[in-house]
């Protein structure tokens, strides 16, 4: 029989917010495993005064549900939970079981951040977030679980509240997070450092408008001026939370430092970033450092990691300080013996290319090629990512120097060889496993998620290779017209390249000649003026509804 006690306190539901957070925060912030991984519920024998039923005596349906928490997706878990509720069996669940349900509800698996930009289409209203419906459905399910939990007199722990606050960060709902924080404080639960980190992640990258608008590569002056003029901005709120953390006798960790760096970056406080790096890591940016020694010892909670290098580089590059970003990454990596991972190299390579383009014109044109060579020297044989290859080939293919065009052709040839022997081969192996094991239900959602992402990467490779061929031929055409050489040489080169790489030409068409005149373009006010492209070959694929 279902529990029929007093009505449970209603948890606040999700409401769309006018203020959203940066994608940088969503991609970076994550809780440690003890906060997010499903654990085995302890089999503690109840006391003689307890009315709880021993785990061994629980009905088979309850035992099967508890075992499914580790291997099933959250929609499947919630469906099983609803079945227990309808049959009046939820009182058999222990407090640890409810905590595991909360942990199993991982928003990044339900709707990964990497998919968000793929759903944004040209002409979509900037104030109508297509993810609001996803967030509302998710929190409606979470509130149902939480209210059932409180009906059976199971309280939330600080780990549960921290996990819920991190989910509020994902759904970009400051009001929901504040309500969870206040509920925790009223119940006398003392927050820890990771609870404060969840609060910091919400305020460190707040923006004045919906994230449907494309986030600029570099913070614009009107963006930083707006936030500096506000009494409550990302930096002031973050520093207030940090002061409260210290007031309660807690010690910051590496994630705390990284979120404070992002808060300084949001308002364009470059001096504040440098001051933070100097005070924490003992490195002076933009100055001579001499013989550097470690300011903190290994094992300290604030000891830097590879993710720290990326965040500091991102904070400087967002504000147009590429030299400072490169110096910070190099000195911290050397002083603290931290390897520079591919995502940090990719970020530096992308910004080096952007800053060498005419729009910013902050770096020489050859910076990207030199940075790629530096990455090769420090990669220990690891192949460059698609993003690094794409940026390098784009930078080389935009040149009219025959030597750089020849080097671009060599890079394309090496990338195609890697695609055929690694990317395509791994996809085919995974596809065979997918087709042969499709009847097995256990872990199906994980295999579908991995297959989905692998297919996306495959299509992105094909789309990139098609563009590389187009860009290379376009540069050869511009060189031919500039030097007024024979078109026969260009046509022969085009035929040779088409025979070698013609399989990747499906997205791009050769348009060598005067462009056609286009009619006037009218912009609709309030509409999103861009679209994140993804390969047309992905549209309409069966079995991958997220695409």
Model pLDDT, residue 429: 86
Contacts of 427 (CB under 8 A, 6+ apart): 454, 455, 457, 458
What letter does residue 422 receive in the DSSP assignment? I
Is residue 347 within 8 A of residue 339, CB to CB? The reply is no
How far apart are the C-alpha atoms of 527 and 124, rounded to whole Å? Answer: 6
* Domain residue extents for the chain: 1-171, 216-382, 396-512+523-547
How far apart are the C-alpha atoms of 458 and 372, rounded to whole Å? Answer: 23
Strand ranges in 486-543 using DSSP code E only, listed in sequence order: none
Report which of 331, 368, 365 is spatially closest to residue 348, judged by C-alpha positions.
368
How far apart are the C-alpha atoms of 296 and 3, rounded to whole Å? Answer: 54
pTM for the whole thing? 0.84
Rg (CA), the chain: 27
Model pLDDT, residue 255: 97
10-residue averages of pLDDT along the chain (547 residues) = 44 74 81 87 41 65 90 90 95 92 86 57 52 85 94 93 94 90 95 97 75 63 81 91 97 97 93 96 90 91 96 94 95 95 92 88 87 86 87 88 90 91 87 73 73 80 84 89 87 84 57 50 40 33 27
Run of H or E including 277: helix 270-281
C-alpha 120, offset from chain centre: 16
Model pLDDT, residue 61: 93
Query: Which CATH number does 216-382 carry?
Result: 1.25.40
HEC readout, 50-95: CCCCCHHHCCHHHHHHHHHCCCCCHHHHHHHHHHHHHCCCHHHCCH
DSSP letter string, 6-34: SPPPPPPPP---S-EE-HHHHHH----HH
Other beta carbons within 10 angstroms of residue 467's beta carbon come to 18
Is residue 85 within 8 A of residue 91, CB to CB? The reply is no
Model pLDDT, residue 212: 45
Is residue 224 within 8 A of residue 267, CB to CB? The reply is yes
Phi, psi of 110 (to 5 degrees): -75, -45
What letter does residue 258 receive in the DSSP assignment? H
How far apart are the C-alpha atoms of 511 and 513, rounded to whole Å? Answer: 6
Model pLDDT, residue 464: 84
């Amino acid at each position: 029989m279902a529990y029929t006690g007093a009505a449970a306190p209603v948890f606040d539901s999700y409401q769309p917010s006018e203020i959203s957070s940066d994608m940088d925060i969503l991609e970076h912030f994550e809780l440690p495993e003890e906060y997010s991984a499903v654990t085995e519920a302890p089999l503690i024998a109840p006391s003689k005064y307890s009315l709880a039923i021993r785990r061994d005596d629980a009905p088979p349906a309850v035992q099967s549900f508890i075992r499914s928490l580790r291997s099933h997706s959250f929609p499947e878990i919630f469906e099983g939970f609803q079945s227990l509720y309808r049959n009046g069996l939820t009182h058999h669940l222990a407090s640890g079981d409810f905590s595991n349900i909360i942990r199993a509800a991982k928003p990044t698996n339900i709707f990964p951040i990497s998919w968000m930009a793929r759903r944004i289409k040209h002409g979509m209203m900037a104030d109508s977030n297509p993810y609001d419906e996803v967030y509302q459905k998710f929190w409606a399910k979470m509130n149902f679980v939480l209210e059932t939990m409180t009906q059976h007199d199971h309280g939330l722990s600080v780990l549960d509240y921290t996990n819920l606050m991190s989910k509020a960060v994902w759904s970009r709902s400051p009001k929901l997070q504040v309500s969870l924080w206040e509920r925790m404080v009223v119940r006398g639960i003392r927050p820890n450092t990771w609870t404060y980190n969840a609060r910091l992640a919400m305020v460190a990258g707040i923006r004045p408008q919906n994230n449907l608008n494309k986030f600029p590569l570099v913070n614009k002056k009107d963006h930083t001026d707006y936030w500096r003029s506000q009494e409550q901005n990302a930096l002031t709120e973050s520093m207030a939370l940090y002061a409260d953390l210290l007031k309660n006798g807690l010690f910051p960790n590496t994630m705390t430092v990284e979120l404070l760096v992002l808060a300084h970056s949001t308002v364009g406080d470059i001096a504040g970033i440098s001051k933070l790096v100097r005070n924490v890591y003992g490195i002076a940016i933009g100055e001579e450092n001499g013989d550097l020694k470690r300011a903190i010892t290994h094992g300290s909670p604030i000891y830097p990691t590879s993710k720290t290098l990326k965040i500091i580089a991102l904070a400087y590059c967002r504000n147009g300080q590429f030299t400072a970003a490169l110096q910070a990454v190099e000195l911290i990596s050397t002083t603290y013996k931290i390897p520079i991972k591919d995502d940090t190299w990719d970020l530096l390579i992308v910004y080096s290319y952007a800053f060498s383009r005419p729009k910013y014109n902050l770096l020489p044109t050859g910076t990207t090629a030199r940075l790629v060579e530096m990455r090769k020297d420090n990669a220990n044989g690891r192949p460059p990512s698609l993003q690094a290859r794409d940026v390098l080939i784009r930078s080389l293919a935009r040149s009219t120097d025959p030597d750089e065009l020849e080097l671009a052709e060599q890079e394309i040839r090496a990338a195609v060889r890697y695609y055929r022997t690694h990317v395509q081969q791994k996809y085919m192996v995974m596809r065979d496993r997918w087709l042969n094991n499709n009847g097995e239900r256990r872990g199906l959602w994980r295999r579908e998620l991995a297959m989905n992402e692998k297919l996306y990467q495959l299509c992105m490779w094909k789309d990139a290779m098609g563009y590389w061929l187009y860009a290379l031929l376009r540069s050869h055409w511009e060189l031919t017209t500039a030097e007024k050489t024979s078109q026969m040489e260009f046509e022969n080169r085009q035929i040779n390249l088409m025979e070698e790489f013609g399989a990747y030409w499906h997205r791009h068409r050769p348009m060598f000649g005067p462009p056609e005149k286009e009619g006037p373009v009218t912009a609709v006010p309030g509409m999103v003026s861009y679209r994140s492209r993804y390969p047309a070959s992905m549209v309409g694929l069966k079995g991958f509804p997220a695409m």
